Structure 1
Amino acid sequence: MCNNTKCDKVPVKEIPSDTRIGNLINIFREEYDAEPDFIVKVPGRVNIIGEHIDYCGYPVLPLALEQDILIASKKISKLELFIRNSDKKYRKYYTQINTFEDIVIQSEPQSKPEWYNYVLCGIKGALEYLNNEIFYGMQFLVDGNIPPASGLSSSSALVSAACLSFLHGQDAPTNKTEIASLCARSERYIGTVGGGMDQAIAFLAEKYSAQYITFRPLKAEPVALPENAVFVVAHSLAEANKAATNDFNRRVIECRLAAKLLAEANGQATGKRIVTLSEVQTLLGKSLEEMIALVKEVLFKNVYMKHEICDKLNLTETELNDIYLTPNTRNLTEFKLKQRALHVYEEASRVESFRSICEDLSKDNTTHNGRNGSVTNGNGSATSFDSLHVLGELMSASHKSLKELYECSHENLDHLVDISKQMNVHSRLTGAGWGGCIVALCPKERVKEYIEMLIDKFYIQYCNIDKNQVHKYVFATTPNHGAIIYK
């Protein structure tokens, strides 16, 4: 792991000889009658394990994809902003940018935001960071090959690429961890209360390894994956957009309220501030296993009504709305606190088990059968199978929890997981859920067979997709590097 200042800078490299980048430059010339000054590249990501726990303060284990967002940029003298897309189906956007307040994120409640609003989120965050001290306007041309609304972080990559492009255009010095945190804050302008995983992997990723990402402070440690392991990503063909519904934010505030009730029930007065489930664990000095038992003891009801939570926290409904809920969740009257908290603590345990197995494998480079012939699977039981199977079992347990406790799966995702089981391949939904993709852990020698089976049984038989079109929906991936600036 690199800790020096130089290593923490976003790398600047020469523009490579690349067909896609060459096409982007040509389109930029057509749109703006000028050459771009630089191009920013920010990857998408797939989360191997650790879903819906980053905003609760727990570590996650993602890797960066080869698919990415590119933004070609040019500085201009007038303080104006031009945003265009290489795909002509997307609307163009223009505004003046004298101040932070000039950037208005316009989105109707419960509707899908315009694509350029994600670009505006990144720029709004950059303007706030710069205290409105800007010297140039910008011309942007965006190109992306991350499938949108797929759970592969296309929106976060777009926010991050826009923020980095604008800061670089203003000659503003930033390091990777600083800008990752800034981009996580910036995405909240679109109305999504995320935890920072997507932005962290976008900037801190390293080629050939996953990243164990921790928060407060933000850190990333490379995790070597088993040599025989290949991760396959398969799109469910159901699109999910976090900003278009309150499903995602609902889970966030249910975790907030669960944390608050757990703290209060155990004599930890935290005032009216928001606390996370990981903070409560630290406050109580308990292990993850002890927290799981505590959830079952304290949050024993399957559904909590809003008035019950107000009574337990000694708050009025207005105070609860203003302090803990988001604008698009204030209409809720029922909350599932036990289920959400159980998922978070059990998933955090699975992440630690997954990382531990990978580290042991890396140390001795042999098949890992656990200490004394067993390894904890994150739910307290032990197995003695080979390492890939044990890691796969953790992923399968993660999907089961996301489906049953977090209720964020989709019938297409579940069908992909079930099909995978027919080949003894373990998989799970990745990303927020409600659509998007699964990620599967497949032995290297079976990847081709596995992908062909998914093509036949899911895309052709189940979804009636033309075989010539399916390869853009399913692919094997290896860990890629983080953000780069090309000049």
Structure 2
Amino acid sequence: MSDVTARAAAGFSSAFGAEPAGLWAAPGRVNLIGEHTDYNDGFVLPFALPHRIVVAAASLPTPRWRVWSEQSDETIEFDAAQADEPGKIDGWAGYVAGVVWALRAKGHDVPGASLAVASDVPAGAGLSSSAALESAVLTALADLGDLAVPVEERPALAQRAENDYVGMPCGIMDQSASIRAEAGHALFLDCRTLAIEQIPFDVASFGLAVLVVDTRAPHRHAGGEYASRRRACEEAAALLGVPALRDVADLDAALAALPDDVMRRRVRHVVTENQRVLETVALLRAGEVREIGPLLTASHASMRDDFEITVPEVDLAVSTALAAGAYGARMTGGGFGGCVLALVDADSIEPVAAAVAAAYAGAGFTAPVWFAARPSAGAGRIE
């Protein structure tokens, strides 16, 4: 039993005075490439991490839910009436209530339950701990209640919990990766059709590694900045007369038709980022893993200059990793903090990480934390 699994089981016993009926887990994710393309009906290429949120759970005889979290060491309780009112339960428990609400709104007879949550997904690092929580809870409740929820429908339910109950206007990428990813693969997702393809991404077999650096810059996008980027994209699509920016076929003509430079930059990022995802997928299908590096770096430059969602800590991590020999590097996640990923030779992962740490010390930034990311499996029951 892993440490986080043991903590979830022990937390359940301590909070509820009984043993759980089972344990379920869902992973955080790293987005290899394709940032802010998901809500523009575009393409993304995330993969799941070995870092997981674990939910220990057991059914209750009535429609009420008790949730304990190791992070806050508190238990939140709510009933069906509270679950059925979006926003009624807030804070971390809102993600749990949102899943209950989304399932009930879809007509499922969601079982009452006691749930204990433990996590080794770094919170606030852009690794989608919120989607992991939603996905783990959804998987647990579906199993406990023997609910007929096909796996291909689960990401949209978890997304609805976050969009309409919590109030975070995220796309469907995070939940799709947390639920549908496969070990050793990146998940190529068409966010319009929801078609997926598992793309081989066994970097170790090529003598490579994906270094993930948690920059320790606070990851804040649940407020105005993320939402403002999404609004700009939707307004631009409306002005251009297309359903979404994914449908822009002539970028130069589109840019010429837009009224201001900020909107032009937002559109240019989304359109070119979609193309970078497609080019990355083509290279990975051909087994040309090192060759994706320049696309990763170009993605970061686009996020920095056109979408304007990076911060000094992530820019320094990217530039330092590249100078230390990385094939490519970029910020991953919604922006304004979080993590950077770098494609490096397997035997240089520690020297590159050390170079970033030294650069941070010189700049007076909080020391970063790093790990090697291994493409892992999506949500499921573990015991």
What's the TM-score, normalizing by structure 2? 0.93
Stretches of structure 2 lacking an aligned partner (at least 5 in a row)? none
Does residue 356 in structure 1 map to residue 262 in structure 2? no
Match of 2:178 among 202, 214, 217: 202
Quote the Cα distance in structure 2 between the aligned partners of 1:101 and 1:27: 27
SS at match of 2:292: helix
> Match for residue 58 of structure 2?
74
> Match for residue 393 of structure 1?
294
> Match for residue 329 of structure 2?
427
> Match for residue 191 of structure 1?
167
Does residue 18 in structure 1 map to residue 2 in structure 2? yes
User: Which is further off, 477-486 or 213-222?
Assistant: 213-222
SS at match of 1:339: helix
Quote the Cα distance in structure 1 between the aligned partners of 2:265 and 2:41: 17
Identity of aligned residues (%): 25
Match of 1:144 among 119, 132, 135: 119
CA RMSD of superposed structures (Å): 2.0
Q: Is the 8 A contact 2:29 2:178 kept in 1?
A: yes
> Match for residue 329 of structure 1?
none
> Match for residue 244 of structure 2?
276
Q: Is the 8 A contact 1:100 1:128 kept in 2?
A: no
Quote the Cα distance in structure 1 between the aligned partners of 2:356 and 2:256: 42
Query: Post-superposition shift, 1:433?
Result: 0.5
Quote the Cα distance in structure 1 between the aligned partners of 2:188 and 2:65: 36
> Match for residue 310 of structure 1?
none
Match of 1:120 among 97, 102, 109: 97
Query: Post-superposition shift, 1:199?
Result: 0.7
User: Which is further off, 22-31 or 43-52?
Assistant: 22-31
Distance 1:193 1:177, change over 3 A: same
Quote the Cα distance in structure 2 between the aligned partners of 1:163 and 1:338: 39
Quote the Cα distance in structure 2 between the aligned partners of 1:68 and 1:359: 28
Query: Post-superposition shift, 1:178?
Result: 0.8
Query: Post-superposition shift, 1:295?
Result: 2.1
Q: Is the 8 A contact 1:97 1:103 kept in 2?
A: no
What's the TM-score, normalizing by structure 1? 0.74
Query: Post-superposition shift, 1:215?
Result: 2.6
Aligned partner letter, 1:442: V
Quote the Cα distance in structure 1 between the aligned partners of 2:207 and 2:218: 31
**Structure with max Cα Rg:** 1
> Match for residue 447 of structure 1?
349
Distance 1:256 1:102, change over 3 A: closer
Q: Is the 8 A contact 2:232 2:266 kept in 1?
A: yes
Quote the Cα distance in structure 2 between the aligned partners of 1:338 and 1:142: 43
How do residues 78-157 of structure 1 correspond to structure 2 at under 5 angstroms? 78-87=62-71, 89-97=72-80, 100-101=83-84, 104-106=87-89, 114-130=91-107, 133-134=109-110, 136-157=111-132
Q: Is the 8 A contact 2:83 2:101 kept in 1?
A: yes
Distance 1:300 1:79, change over 3 A: closer
Query: Post-superposition shift, 1:339?
Result: 1.1
How do residues 35-434 of structure 1 correspond to structure 2 at under 5 angstroms? 35-87=19-71, 89-97=72-80, 100-101=83-84, 104-106=87-89, 114-130=91-107, 133-134=109-110, 136-188=111-163, 189-225=165-201, 226=203, 227-243=206-222, 245-263=223-241, 275-278=243-246, 280-281=247-248, 286=249, 291-299=250-258, 301-302=260-261, 336-361=262-287, 368=288, 388=290, 390-425=291-326, 426-434=328-336
Query: Post-superposition shift, 1:345?
Result: 0.5
Q: Is the 8 A contact 1:40 1:161 kept in 2?
A: yes
Query: Post-superposition shift, 1:276?
Result: 1.4
Q: Is the 8 A contact 1:125 1:163 kept in 2?
A: no
Q: Is the 8 A contact 2:12 2:68 kept in 1?
A: no
Quote the Cα distance in structure 2 between the aligned partners of 1:464 and 1:360: 39
Query: Post-superposition shift, 1:80?
Result: 1.6
